Structures are given as structure tokens and as C-alpha cells.
Amino acid sequence: MNIIVVGLSHKTAAVEIREKVAFSPTQMEKPLNALVALPDITEAVIVSTCNRVEIYATTRDVAGGMARLKRFLADYHNVPLETLEKHLYSHHGEEATRHVFRVASSLDSMVVGEPQILGQIKTSYGYAAEFKSSGIILNRFLHKAFSVAKRVRTETKIASSAVSVAFAAVELAKKIFGELTDKTVLLIGAGEMCELAAKHFINVGVRGVMVTNRTYERAEKLAEEFDAKPVHFEALMDHLPKADIILSSTGAPHFIIHQKDMEDVLRRRKLKPMFFIDIAVPRDIDPKVNDVENCYLYTVDDLNGVVATNLEQRKIEAAKAEAIVEQEIGQFFKWLSSLDVTPTIVALRSHFDEIRKAELAKTLSNWKDLPPGAEKKMDALTNAIMNKLLHHPTSLLKRTDQGSRNDLYVDALRHLFDLETGEQQESMMELED
Amino acid sequence: MNALLFNSTLVIYAVVTAVYLVYLLKPTESLGKTGLWLTMAGFLVHCGFTLNRFLDAGHTPITNLHESLSFFSLSVVGIFLLLERRYKISILGSFMMPLALLIMAISASFSTVIPPLNPALKSKWLAVHTIMAFLGYAAFAISFGVSIMYLIQSHFLKTRRLGSMFQKLPSLDILDDISYRCLTFGFPLLTFAIISGAIWAETAWGTYWSWDPKETWSLITWFIYAALLHGRLTTGWRGRKAAMLSIFGFVIMLFTFLGVNLLLPGLHSYK
């Protein structure tokens, strides 16, 4: 049995293409049922996120299966296959396994290490399990992918540092203030990056937000959006001592916060530290403010620098993650190859035959005055019994029209008659957690 | 037995210090855990040494520099273990354990024989006075170490050097908090040590206060820490300023403890 994957991602297709073939999470039953109804496709899982659309399936016929999946993707969404074709990638066997391990571990993500993708794949798998389109192979295939992702997360630092300016600002604030729950953010001016950073601070649960703007109405409007308190720009110096984190991005051509004012502000807030984030160009805050005791000033360039370092760090961690993926591929394949029918039948027969021969030898050795020819007859008799017993299971296994049940039987047989190897038991245990 | 326990403690602290210094350069979780377990082992052996010394001598074993430095080190390690339990900051060890080792090494340089007890020290005040004084000293020592960590972390933030050591060091807020807590723990102990000393002096030497160098310098130390705590509560000396004052206070405290004993002759010059 082969695992195949056909799909497209942010690396191969622009959003205009991706949105055309996306599957709605509320209507997964229909496409999943249609997929497993296709000839030669036994199991199927659809992963559909804003960055990728992929179909994982099992098939006996790799080339035919891939062609069917491509055709299905095009037909289901009424997109001509010719336009879609050049954006699609397809993998099978080891490549498909490497692909899903990398995707789940967030090594194939737009921002390497971002944590959402694992949850998205788990949800996708949930649909497939709910509508019974995945069977023993894809079940274990995806569970293995989850456990690889978990290993990557715990053994590497791939997701441990901030890779966006807004997040970097929050991380730095935590290094100054520890918990942010009793801290107040002051937003001076408006701007996309500034508002995004403010949202991140609100998400981690700061106590309050103040907003100020040269035009008070705009401050009021923004304050409403953030559930914040608008303050008059003229009263900035009165409110500054109340703020712990200051996000500034005004269009002012000169500094609006000066070093000489800060000594007084700090004194009024009993020298409690302040964190300034200056996102404006030209800058709003005199760089000398950083020299004031307990004041920490970061500009947009500083934050970009932090992000760049963190991205470098992620690249190093990603290399470690790739090594983990390679290691796990081997393990999964040992299990997958054990599901081949022929070696299983051979192993089952030899297992039975060993028992038969051992028991026969035991009986015959204790049997004195044996009539001539009896030995041969006994051998033939036991052999016939064994063949009769094995006839139905063997012919059932050799049938090719029963889809994923075949793999289920093989797996069950290997367990029932203890035909398995060490690795398999290990992977069974991993499946449980 | 005494020497064995003392030397074992010294060796374990040396290993712990090495582990924590490596941790400083290459912070991994397993190194931090190893350091902590070894520290606990060292602390137990150290407790064993102190107890054994107490049984051998028949009085509180804080009567000369060898003993008191050892007890000072023991207190530092004890408070460090409590803080590590509470805050789970492995990197604290990289700053505390070298200090504990250094104090032990100085202790080792003084005579280890148990001398006959100075008659003036034969008093129930010995235990109260010395234990409080050295627990207080240890709290100030921890505050000193944490203040150095504060200055380093603050320097990293100001100069935007955000490497792996920056990542491992806790937030400024926590460092400031630990330092402050240590001061609020150490200051009352120092106060009671001075008061109990005065009462003891009255019974032993017939006067509460004789401006002996130790007494004078203890008072100076007391004023520095009092000023620091006062400044913090009223005008809010915190952050870098508080950290630098705490470091200054510790240097003066060290002089009160060691300098006075070794350099200035007086009633307290126990060697």
C-alpha cells in the first residue's frame, strides 16, 4: 500500500489560486466521501488552510492515484486542470512522509516554526476520522506526524522566539516588567504597526490602554476600538508617568518626547521602569531617552534587528528539526512495509508450520510400535488441517477489492499471531499518547 | 571527620560552581538541574559539617573566622535553595554558588582546629547573636548577587544585546523584587543582631555600646541599608540605583565582617 499526497501551498501558488481550491471546514463530509469512493483510493484526508490545500491518500497504484486526486481537485472546484497543474506538487512513499512530517512540524510554513499548522492538521484529521475516510495507514501516518511535531517542538527551539516586530516588543516588555497584567500601555498617534503591537499587548492582558492623538476625535475613535481611554495630546506629559509601555508613531517632524522631560516623569512615577517603542519615521522619541535611568527605548530598527536574529536562530533550529524528521521517516517505513500482504502470509504460514512440525515430532517420538507408513500419513493429515485453516484468511488477504480493510487484517494478524518486530510495538505505543 | 566533611563540601561547591559557570555560557535545562541537585547534596554535607562541629565543640560553631565564614557560606546556599524553589531561576546559581565557594575557600585558609572557647563568648547570646548576624549577611550577599544580575540584564536591554544569556536571565522586575525581598529579610536580622549584641555586651563587658570598630561599622552598614530601604519606600529608589546601592552596602558589610576582624584591633577581633 502506498501513501500519496497531492496539493499546493504558499510556495507553489498565489492566494488567488489557493482560495479557488480551498475546502470549507463545514462541508468536509462530501469531498471525503467522494475521495474514498474513487477507484483505487482506499483512505483520504484533506488538509485545507489559508496557506495550503493537500489531499493525503492511500492507493495501490501510485501514478493512477495521483492523477485521480489531481482530477478530483480540479473537478470538485470547477477549475480547469491545466491551470491548476503547474501549481500542484505530488509525492509518494518516503517523500510523502517527509512532506507531512515537515508540514506538521511547521518546517514548510511561511513563517517557519509558527504553531498554528499542527492544530490545523489535527482538525483536518478529525474530519477524516469523523467521516471514516481515514483507515489504519493514514491514522498512524498522521499520528506519527503529530508525535514528530511534538518532538521537534520539545527538542528544538524552533518556536521559542518572536519573529514579528509586534511580538518582539511584547517579549522585550516581559523581560523588563515580568508579568504585564498590571501595566498600562500608552498609544501615541496611529499606524498599522503601532495598532498591531497594541493588540498584542491587549492579548497578553495589560491592565489598561490610553490613546492620544493630535486630533482628539481620532484618539476617541481608536480608543473605542481598543476599549481604551482617550487622552488629550496637550496633556501628554501629565499622562506619561501613568504609562509603563509607550508605543509611538506620529507623523511629527521632530521629537515629541525629550530627554529633559523624562527625569521629571520618572521621578513622578517613583523610578518605575518605562519601555518606549518608537515606530515613527522620523522618530518621535529622542534617542537620549535611552540614557535616562530605568528607561528603555527601542526603535523600529532595533526591533527588526531582534526579529532578524531570531529568524537566524530559527534557521539553526530548523536544521536540527530536519534531522529529527529524517530519523522518524525510517521508523514509520519499517511499520508500513510490514503491512505488505505477501510477507505476512509467508510469516503466518511458517509460524503455523513450525508449531505443526514441533507438535508432530513430539508425538511421534513418544509413540512406540508405530505401524509402517503412519508417520507419512500423520504428516499429511496435519498439513491438510493447517491448509484448511489457513485457506480462508489467506484468500481474503489476497483479495484486492476491499480497500483499507486489507491493511487492518494484516495488522491484526501480525498482532494476533505475534508476527511483529520490535519497532512496531514501539510505534503502537506512540499512537496511544 | 570534621576535615572530611569540610573538604567534601568545598569540592562539591567547586564542582557546582563549574557546572553553573558552564551553564552561563551554554544554558541547557539538564545543566541547570545537575547544578541544583549537586547544590542540595553540598548543602546537606555542609549542614553535616556544621552539626558535627557543634557536637565536637559543645557550643555554636561560629566563634572564629573559619567557622563563621563557613556558616556564612551555608546561609548563602540555604537562601539560594529557597529562592530557586520559589522562582525556578537556574541562572541564580551561576552568581550565588561562585560566591558561596569563594567564602568557603577563604574559610579554608584559616585554622581549622577547635580552640578553647573565649570566656567572653560563653553565653546563650552567642547562638542568637551570631546566627542572626550571618543570616542577615547572607541575605545581603544574595541581594548583592541579584543586583549584579540586574545591572547585567539592564545593560543588555540598554545596548540591545539580546543573546542567550539575556534570554536566560529573568526579567528586571523579578530581579528587583528578589533583591528587595532579601533586603527586607536581612535588615531586621541585622537590626536584631545589633540589639542582641548590645544586650550581650552589657552583661559581658558592662556597657551596651563601647564604639568598638565592629560596633561602629555595623552601625554604618545598618544606616546604608536603612537608607536604601527608606529611599525605596518613599521616593522609590529602584532599578539600577537600588542595585548599585545594594552592591555598595555589601562591600561595606564585608568590611564590617572581615576588614574589622583582620585590620582593626578591638573586642570583636576573633581570628
CATH number of the domain that residue A143 is part of = 3.30.460.30
CB < 8 Å to A309, chain B: 162
Query: Do B17 and B151 belong to one domain?
Result: no
Nearest to B238 among A179, A272, A306 (CB): A272
Task: Answer yes or no: is A65 within a domain.
Answer: yes
Q: Where is pLDDT greater, at A150 or B113? A: A150
| Domain assignment of residue A325, yes or no | no
Shared domain for B159 and B101, answered yes or no, is no
Q: Which residues of A178-211 are buried (b: 16+ CB within 10 A; e: fewer)?
A: bebeebbbbbbbbbebbbbbbebbeeeebebbbb
Mean pLDDT, rounded, for A5-17 = 91
Give how far B45 is from chain A: nearest CA, Å: 35
Residue A211's pLDDT band (cuts 50, 70, 90): very high
A291-314: b or e for each residue (b if 16 or more CB lie within 10 Å)? ebebbbbbbbebbeebbebbeebb
Nearest to A294 among B167, B174, B239 (CB): B239
Last residue of a domain, one of B117, B144, B176: B117
CA gap A375, A369 in Å, rounded = 11
Checking if the pLDDT of A426 tops 50, the result is no
Least confident of A110-124, A206-220, A325-339: A325-339
Please check whether residues B193 and B270 belong to one and the same domain. yes
CATH of the domain at A237: 3.40.50.720
- A191 a known binding residue? yes
A102 shares its domain with A6: yes
Q: What is the pLDDT along chain B (271 residues), one digit of tens a residue?
A: 888 999 999 999 999 999 999 998 888 888 999 999 999 999 999 999 999 999 888 888 888 889 989 999 999 999 999 999 998 888 999 999 999 999 999 998 887 777 777 777 777 888 889 999 999 999 999 999 999 999 999 999 999 888 888 888 999 999 999 999 999 999 999 999 999 989 988 888 888 888 888 888 899 999 999 999 998 888 777 888 889 999 999 999 998 888 887 877 766 666 5
Please list every residue in chain B whose beta carbon sits closer than 8 Å to the beta carbon of residue A272. 236, 238-239
pLDDT tens per residue, range A53-112:
999 999 988 899 999 999 999 999 999 999 899 999 999 988 999 999 999 999 998 888
Q: Are residues B14 and B100 in the same domain?
A: yes
Q: What is the residue range of B23's domain?
A: 1-117
The x, y and z cell numbers of residue A73, run together, are 481537485
Interatomic CA distance for residues B59 and B53, integer angstroms:
9
Reported ipTM: 0.85
Asked if the model's pLDDT at residue A421 lies above 70, the reply is no
Min Cα–Cα distance to chain B from A60, Å: 47
Give yes or no: residues A105 and A178 share one domain.
no
Which of B172, B180, B233 to mutate: most A Cβ within 10 Å? B172
In a shared domain, residues A225 and A276: yes
Same domain, A7 and A150: yes
The domain tally of chain B equals 2
B59 and B102 together in one domain? yes
Question: Per the domain annotation, does A320 fall within a domain?
Answer: no
For residue A343, is pLDDT > 80?
no
B77/chain A closest Cα distance in angstroms: 25
pLDDT of A401: 64
Neighbours of B100 (CB within 10 A): 29
Q: Are residues A183 and A291 in the same domain?
A: yes
- Asked whether residue B230 falls in the same domain as residue B178, the answer is yes
Catalytic residue among A50, A63, A237, A380: A50
Same domain, A77 and A174: no
Query: What is the CB neighbour count within 10 angstroms for residue A27?
Result: 10
A305 touches chain B (CB under 8 A): yes
Is the distance from CB of A194 to CB of A213 less than 8 angstroms?
no
Residue B248 C-alpha from the chain's centroid: 14
Does A316 map to a domain? Answer: no
Q: CB neighbours of A303 closer than 8 A, spacing ≥ 6?
A: A165, A168, A169, A172, A277
Residue A321 annotated in ligand binding: no
B interface with A, Cβ–Cβ below 8 Å: 153, 157-158, 160, 162, 166-167, 170-174, 177, 235-241
Co-location of A208 and A238 in the same domain: yes
One domain, residues A92 and A203: no
Residue B60 parent element (H or E): none
Query: Would you call A270 and B238 a contact, using CB atoms and an 8 Å cutoff?
Result: yes
Domain boundary among A104, A125, A155: A155
Mean pLDDT, rounded, for A359-380: 87
Contact A430, A147 (CB under 8 A): yes
Domain hosting residue A362, numbered range: 337-432
Enumerate residues 6+ apart whose C-beta is below 8 A from A316: none
Interface residue of B157, B168, B238, B245 to substitute, partner A, most A CBs within 10 Å: B157
Q: What one-character-per-residue DSSP string does A159-175 give?
A: TSS--SHHHHHHHHHHH
pLDDT at A400 over 70: no
Lowest mean pLDDT among A2-6, A323-327, A423-427: A423-427
Q: Do residues B94 and B19 share a domain?
A: yes
In this structure, are B97 and B142 located in the same domain? Answer: no
User: pLDDT grade, residue A429 (50/70/90)?
Assistant: very low
Say which DSSP state A8 is in.
E
Decide: pTM greater than 0.80. Answer: no
Contact B49, B5 (CB under 8 A): yes
- The residues that bridge with A55 in the sheet, in sequence order, are A6, A46
Q: Which of A253, A284, A306 is the last residue of a domain?
A: A306
Last residue of a domain, one of A124, A155, A186: A155
Sequence-separated (6 or more) residues with CB below 8 Å from residue B36: B84, B90, B93
Q: Which residue of B26, B173, B233 is the best one to mutate when testing the A interface, meaning the one whose CB has the most A CBs within 10 A? A: B173
Last-in-domain residue among B90, B117, B144: B117
Q: Do A147 and A171 fall within a single domain?
A: no
Burial-class residue A80 by CB neighbours within 10 Å (0-12, 13-18, 19+). Answer: exposed
Angle between helices B92-108 and B65-87 (to 10 degrees): 170
In this structure, are B146 and B267 located in the same domain?
yes
Task: Assess whether A364 and A297 both reside in one domain.
Answer: no
Which residue among B166, B177, B236 sits closest to A270, beta carbon to beta carbon? B236
The verdict on B74 and B186 lying in the same domain is: no
Note the pLDDT of residue B161: 87
Please report the pLDDT score of residue B58 as a whole number.
81
Same domain, A369 and A421: yes
B141 and B258 together in one domain: yes
A50 is catalytic: yes
With CB atoms and an 8 Å threshold, state whether B239 touches A271: yes
For residues B86 and B215, membership in a common domain is answered with no
Q: Please indicate, yes or no, whether residues A38 and A120 belong to a single structural domain of this protein.
A: yes
Could you say which of B80, B102, B117 is where a domain stops? B117
Query: Is A190 annotated in some ligand binding site?
Result: yes
Mapped onto helix, strand or coil, the DSSP state of residue A403 is coil
